[in-house]
Chains A and B, each alone.
Chain A
């Protein structure tokens, strides 16, 4: 894999093929935890950490357990179990050894268990037969893309809170319209880059 290919994959995953805006995966937490910039950033960092760890573990399990035993069809069930276990494990480690980090990220970890961006990235990496390096680049880029988009979205939502919006559009309605504009901006605006 050349440097150009690595950059192309990373830039495309962060911008034009962003997991939230183009797939779209992880919409629940994207809408639910984006009212404040601070909580959006916390969620973004937590997703990035879990995404990288989950992609690594699921890639290893897929290639060294599911493929050799010819039970590839179990991938979704196995990946869900692995992600749920990983989130519990991470929460426990943070509670025990990194209390200050738990105070910042701990509240978002249970929300990540049901975040389909984690499952989607793991399934796409194995489905496209990516090697470990490519899987890691894809996972890091997807996590950074999620963090970037949720942070921008929360910034817009904070400003929208004080804007004179018609009553029927307030709340999630205007948030979905903003998300739609962002999806168009990211998909079309960054199309030629990667």
Chain B
């Protein structure tokens, strides 16, 4: 790998990660519209019950 490639690689990644962090923070700061505060998708595709979208975990909690 040439030094030019390494520099380009670092610059591209830094720029993209910075853009992502900025957009992520802006999105978090943007308030949800009225009536959408508690909206979330329910998914039961896998057994990862710690995922906030997994409804299997919530069913287990209700059973207990």
Contacts and interface: CB of A to CB of B under 8 A. Distances in A.
- Taking residues whose C-beta sits less than 8 angstroms from the other chain, chain A's interface range is 35 or more
B35 A111 contact: no
Contact of A85 (B20, B34, B43): B20
A99 B36 contact: yes
A65 B8 CA distance: 9
Interface string A16-31: 0000000000001101
A107 interface: yes
A29 B36 CA distance: 21
Nearest to B11: A69
Given A78-B16, A81-B20, A92-B26, A102 B40 contact: no
Given A39-B41, A107-B41, A28 B36 contact: no
Contact of A29 (B8, B31, B45): B45
Contacts of B19: 85
B13 interface: yes
Interface of B: 4-5, 8-9, 12-13, 16-17, 19-20, 23-24, 26-27, 30-36, 39-46, 53
A71 interface: yes
The 5 closest A-B pairs by CB, nearest first: A32-B45, A99-B33, A32-B43, A69-B8, A31-B45
10 contacts: A32-B53, A39-B42, A69-B4, A71-B8, A81-B17, A81-B20, A85-B16, A85-B24, A92-B26, A92-B30
A65 to B, nearest CB: 7
A83 B23 CA distance: 12
Nearest to B20: A85
A110 B16 CA distance: 19
B30 A102 contact: no
Q: Which of B8, B16, B30, B39 counts the most chain A CB atoms within 10 A?
A: B16
